[in-house]
Structures are given as C-alpha cells and as structure tokens.
C-alpha cells in the first residue's frame, strides 16, 4: 500500500484500498469506458467523507493535486462513476437512519439502494415510487436524475427529496432547506455560518444572470445537461430559495451527498398490466394517445423486433409469442384500487381496434407478462454480434414527434448498418435504443463516438434531446458541450466554481469532458455481469 493510502486509512473509520485486483473491480461502470482509479475509499459516515475531502486539500497544499469522484452502485451509463484519481464508493453508507411512518418521511444514508429501502418501507405500508434499477443508490438517483418509468404519474425523484446533506469542497457540511428572502439574508450575513459563503455566491450569481436563466427556462424540451435545475433554486411563486435542485443531475461535481430525507407515498395496490400488439407504429401511438386520459402508471412501448431477437436466444414470450411477433407492443400499467382499475381496463379493451391483439393480465397469465422483462434482459445482453452499448439510452422525444422519429429510424439503420429497435415510456417521452457495436475490434471502438455524434444530429431533427432522460457524464458531454450556447455553458461553469473553486470533484465530468481521455480509456472488452433496461 502506498504511503498516501496508509495515511488516509489512518484518519477514517472506513477503508482505503489500492491493490490492483480491487482497483480493477471499480474500473468500469455501465458505460463504454474503463478507468482504473489510483485508490478506492469506502467511508462509513459523513465524518469520514469530510476527512477524505480535507485530506485531499492537504495533498494539494503539498503540491500533490488530485481529485475525488463519487460512485454509487456503478450503474452510470456515461462514465461518471469512473476516475483515474481517488474514487469514493458509497456502498457502506447504506443505512436507514430513521423512519417516520406518521409523517411519511425517511432519513437515509446516500448509499442505500432503492431495493433495500423499499423492502424496509414495505413493512410500514410505504414506498418510494421510483421505477429504476433496484440496485441504484438514492444518491445516484439524485445525482444522475434519470427519468424513471413511474415519473409520468409520480413525477420522479425530485418530487420526493425533502432535504439533503452534502460535504462541500472545503470539508464543511451543507444541509439544504428552504429560505424566504429574509431568512436567506440573515444566513448570508452570518459570519459564523460555514454555509454563508456558498449561499452568497449562488445568490449573487443568480441575481447577476437573470437573462441567462431566462434563456435556460425558454428551452423548448426537457434536458438534464449542465445545471439546468438552477431555474428552481429561486421560485418566484413562493419566494423560496433552496440549493437542493442544483444537485439534481450534478453527477457528483458539486459535492458528496451523504444523507437524504425523503417524502414517501402509501404503498399502492398491486400493479395490473394490459398489453396490446399493433402491426404499425401509427396504430400503436394512436391507441396510446387515447389511453393517456386514464392516468396510467406507465405506458411502455416496444418494437417487436426486440422480442424476435430474444426468441432466437430461446426467450419466447409464451402467450404473447404468436400475437406479438411484429410491429409494436404497448404495455399499460395501473396501480389504482381494484374497482378503479377494473373500470379503466374495460375502457382499454373497448378502445382496442379490431386489427390489434390484446391481453389482460390475470393470475393465470402473469408469468407471461414477466417473460417480457426476461426477454428484454436477453436482448440487451446478446453479444453474438457485439455488445449492445449504452450509447443512445435515455433520450427525449416529444410525443408529437415520436411517430415521425420512428418512421425515419429505418433510414438511420440503413446509414449506420445497425438494427435500432426502440423501447421506452410514452408518458415520460424517455426512450432508448442499443446499437450492437463490438468494442473488441478497433473498428467497433472507432465507430462508437461516430455513432453517438450521428445519432445526436438525427435526434435533433425531431426535436429530441440526447440528455433528455439522464445527464451527460463523460460520454454524451463530448457531443452536448459543443452544441450548448456559450453563454449558458459559461454560466454553468460559474455554478461549478461557486461550489468547487479548485475543481476537486470530478473535474472532467459534464462541462469539461475530454476527448483524449475518452479515447485513452475506451474499453476493449465486453462488460461482465448482467445489465437491465432500467
């Protein structure tokens, strides 16, 4: 172990590792990069994180400049969980600190997974209604701000964060809360308050950048790039000032989130699903449009070619196999009480055109609905012709342009010589497609960035946004940063500097992504393990 690792190990309760075999395990996330860190630090609590930050500050004073990157479960698709410097893994900060059933609140460490949290909440009849990978941590859900499958009805993670605690670049702890104008002024003027500096800098920046903020507000579509939630820091309707929104989609570049207080929902009735298959995208979308007034939990849309390819691997859809072998499949989910669901399902059936095939979920066929998820997993992990890369995941297409986009996809498939079946959720307008590029060949690696750039251009033709469903990280940033308005990009850089003046936290993620590093760390082997569509 290096001297620096030993010194840091002495000052924290958690552990520091720099053995190559351990570093190798943290060298990949779900992206196309591989970047072994210099050391991995596993803090146990907030004080550990503070000591890590202050230790790094001492290194800087001795001329040993380094940086810190925070990692949750390593599921990021854009390379934001990786670094060639010091990696902080939050896997041991996974405790539930307190559950208030009456107020429907829970206080957790940021490293707890969605799966573990909801399992504990279920004992109290409560739930955090987020449809994401169950292995995702709460901190990652906030920092990556990905649009989840239930966001169309339940509004996503930002709707449930009451407040958060984060360790800042100076080693102090920020605990976010709402301030009215008078309370904000008192905080700014308090010389003994360690948080006054960050509130002063952000307040001044917002006051000096009203025109730029209006430009961000005027963007016509959803976009998670940069720090776009700055528009929610100061809300004119309530005269509230709150720093929490800046951490959404920040990808660990502003500070290390250590604890979160979340608002919760009462656990709903069991989810009931309804599937309909259509020969054309036109028929599928027309039907879906008629269902949206029913306020479903989600409306998933799949190109049936996905299941055709899964069937080639032995993953037949059972009851669905003969009816859904071409065209598009829509799966509608409801979580209302059984009487309301029964009424809505009747309306769903009444609206099904004669040319479509429809199946209502029952106890007898629920296993066939489960086959859809396993068939998707088979498709996503099919590497017979190359790995299905997370290059074009979580993009936004407005509902009024979706059909045009789908009709034009064959042109892109022909141009790129890649099959690109679409899947996603209509209510959130969040979609993905997976090109089967092979990173084990030089040609495949060279085509990865070319495909991303071409797809971004194609997406823009249909008012789509590459970062509509999740932020840019290292990979999408290579395209997004070059397209961003220079004035807005500079404003985002000022936000980063206000929080992190010396570039301690993930300096080459988001705003300063580096093409040379992308090429250097582009991996050449297939990822181990199983990836899911969430």
Determine what percent of the chain falls in helix, strand and coil, rounding each to the nearest 5: 40, 20, 40
Give the model confidence (pLDDT) of 123-150 as tens digits.
Answer: 999 999 999 999 999 999 999 998 898 9
Of the listed ranges 59-68, 117-126, 206-215, the least confidently predicted one is 59-68
Q: What percent of the chain has pLDDT over 90?
A: 73
CA distance 307 to 357: 16
**pLDDT at residue 97, rounded to an integer:** 97
Per-residue CA distances from 485 to 130, 215, 216, 249, 410 (Å): 32, 9, 10, 19, 31
CA 27 to CA 307: how far, in whole Å?
Answer: 32
Tell me how crowded residue 230 is: count the other CB atoms within 10 A of its CB. 22
Model confidence pLDDT, tens digit, residues 17-51: 999 999 999 999 999 999 999 999 999 999 999 99
pLDDT band at 443 (very low <50, low <70, confident <90, very high): confident
* 338: exposed, middle or buried (Cβ count in 10 Å: 0-12, 13-18, 19+): exposed
Q: What is the pLDDT of residue 414?
A: 95
Do residues 341 and 269 touch, judged by C-beta distance below 8 A? yes
Confidence of residue 517 (pLDDT cuts 50, 70, 90): confident
Sheet holding 423-425, edge to edge: 357-360, 272-278, 328-334, 298-303, 423-425, 430-433, 392-396
237 pLDDT higher than 70: no
Distances (CA, A) of 121 to 138, 157, 517: 14, 16, 42
Using CA atoms, how far apart are residues 136 and 313, in angstroms rounded to an integer? Answer: 28
Confidence band (pLDDT; 50, 70, 90) for 527?
A: confident
Q: Each residue of 286-334: pLDDT tens digit? A: 999 999 999 999 999 999 888 877 776 666 666 666 666 679 999 999 9
- Model confidence at 384: pLDDT above 50: no
- Higher-confidence residue: 466 or 526? 466
Per DSSP, the three-state class of 163 is strand
pLDDT tens digits for 337-369? 989 999 999 999 999 998 888 888 888 888 878
pLDDT at 440 over 90: no
Taking 80 as the threshold, does the pLDDT of residue 235 lie above it? Answer: no
pLDDT class for 238, splitting at 50, 70, 90?
low
Distance CA(37)–CA(74), nearest Å, equals 13
Question: For the ranges 22-36, 90-104, 373-387, 486-500, which has the lowest average pLDDT?
Answer: 373-387
Which of 112-121, 373-382, 429-438, 498-507 is predicted least confidently?
373-382
Report how far apart the first and last C-alpha atoms of the chain are (Å, whole number).
Answer: 37
pLDDT at 42: 98
Q: pLDDT of 159-217, one tens digit each?
A: 999 999 999 999 999 999 999 989 999 999 998 999 999 999 999 999 999 999 999 99
378, pLDDT greater than 80: no
How far CA 424 is from CA of 27, 302, 373, 445, in Å, comes to 29, 7, 13, 26
| CA 68/CA 503 separation, integer angstroms | 9
Question: Which residues, in sequence order, are bridge partners of residue 330?
Answer: 276, 301
Tokens of residue 328, six digits: 């598009």
Beta bridge partners of 241: 179, 234
CB 449 within 8 A of CB 458: no
What pLDDT shows up at residue 376?
A: 78
pLDDT at 385 over 50: no
Q: Which of 106-115, 166-175, 439-448, 502-511 has the lowest mean pLDDT?
A: 439-448
Paired sense of beta strands 423-425 and 436-437, if any: unpaired
Mean pLDDT, rounded, for 268-296: 92
- Which of 285 and 448 is assigned the larger pLDDT? 285
Q: What angle do CA 41, 46, 51 make, to 5 degrees?
A: 60
Q: From the CB of residue 322, how many other CB atoms can be counted at a distance below 10 Å?
A: 10
Q: How would you label 44-83 residue by residue, b for 16+ Cβ within 10 Å and e otherwise?
A: ebbebbbbbbebbeebeeeeeebbbbbbbbbbbbbbbbbb
Q: Which two tokens stand for residue 177?
A: 């809360």
Pure H helices in 417-512: 442-460, 477-483, 486-499
Q: Report the chain's mean pLDDT, rounded to a whole number.
A: 91
pLDDT band at 387 (very low <50, low <70, confident <90, very high): low
Structural domains in the chain, sorted by start: 3-92+493-521 (3.30.43.10), 96-266 (3.30.465.10), 268-380 (3.30.70.2190)
- The CA distance from 431 to 428, in Å, is 9
């Amino acid at each position: 172990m290096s001297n620096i690792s030993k010194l840091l190990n002495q000052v924290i309760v958690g552990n520091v590792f720099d053995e190559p075999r351990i570093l190798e395990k943290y060298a990949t996330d779900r992206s196309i990069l591989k970047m072994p860190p210099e050391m991995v630090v596993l803090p146990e609590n907030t004080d550990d994180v503070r000591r890590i930050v202050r230790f790094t500050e001492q290194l800087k004073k001795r001329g040993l400049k380094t940086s810190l990157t925070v990692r949750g479960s390593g599921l990021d698709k854009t390379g934001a969980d990786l670094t060639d410097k010091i990696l902080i893994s939050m896997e041991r900060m996974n405790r539930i600190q307190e559950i208030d059933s009456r107020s429907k609140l829970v206080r957790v460490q940021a490293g707890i997974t969605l799966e573990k949290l909801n399992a504990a909440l279920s004992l109290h009849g409560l739930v955090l209604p987020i449809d994401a990978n169950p292995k995702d941590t709460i901190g990652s859900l906030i920092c990556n701000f990905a649009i989840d499958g239930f966001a169309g009805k339940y509004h996503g993670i930002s709707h449930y964060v009451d407040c958060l605690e984060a360790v800042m670049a100076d080693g102090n702890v920020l605990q976010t809360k709402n301030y009215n104008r008078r309370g904000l002024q008192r905080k700014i003027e308090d010389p003994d308050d360690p948080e006054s500096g960050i509130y002063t800098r952000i307040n001044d920046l917002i006051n000096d950048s009203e025109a730029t903020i209006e430009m961000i507000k005027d963007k016509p579509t959803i976009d998670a790039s940069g720090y776009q939630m700055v528009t929610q820091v100061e809300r004119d309707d309530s005269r509230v000032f709150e720093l929490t929104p800046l951490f959404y989609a920040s990808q660990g570049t502003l500070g290390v989130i250590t604890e979160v207080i979340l608002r919760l929902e009462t656990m709903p009735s069991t989810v009931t699903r309804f599937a309909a298959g259509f020969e054309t995208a036109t028929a599928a979308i027309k039907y879906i449009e008629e269902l949206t007034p029913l306020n479903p939990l989600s409306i998933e849309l799949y190109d049936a070619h996905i299941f055709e390819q899964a069937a080639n691997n032995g993953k037949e859809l059972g009851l669905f196999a003969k009816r859904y072998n071409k065209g598009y499949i829509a799966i509608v989910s409801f979580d209302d009480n059984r009487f309301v669901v029964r009424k809505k399902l009747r309306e769903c059936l009444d609206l099904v055109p004669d040319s479509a095939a429809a199946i209502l979920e029952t106890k007898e066929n629920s296993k066939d609905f489960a086959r859809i998820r396993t068939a998707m997993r088979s498709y996503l992990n099919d590497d017979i012709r190359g790995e299905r890369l997370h290059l074009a995941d979580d993009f936004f297409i407005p509902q009024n342009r979706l059909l045009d986009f789908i009709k034009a996809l064959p042109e892109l498939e022909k141009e790129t010589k890649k099959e690109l079946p679409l899947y996603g959720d209509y209510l959130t307008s969040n979609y993905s497609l997976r090109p089967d590029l092979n990173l084990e060949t030089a040609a495949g690696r060279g085509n990865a960035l070319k495909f991303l750039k071409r797809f971004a251009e194609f997406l823009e033709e249909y008012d789509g946004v590459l970062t509509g469903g999740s932020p840019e990280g290292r990979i999408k940033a290579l395209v997004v940063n070059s397209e961003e308005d220079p004035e807005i990009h500079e404003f985002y850089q000022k936000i980063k500097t206000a929080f992190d003046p010396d570039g301690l936290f993930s300096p080459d993620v988001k705003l300063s992504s580096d093409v040379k590093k992308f090429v250097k760390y582009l991996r050449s082997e297939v990822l181990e393990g199983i990836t899911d569509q969430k």
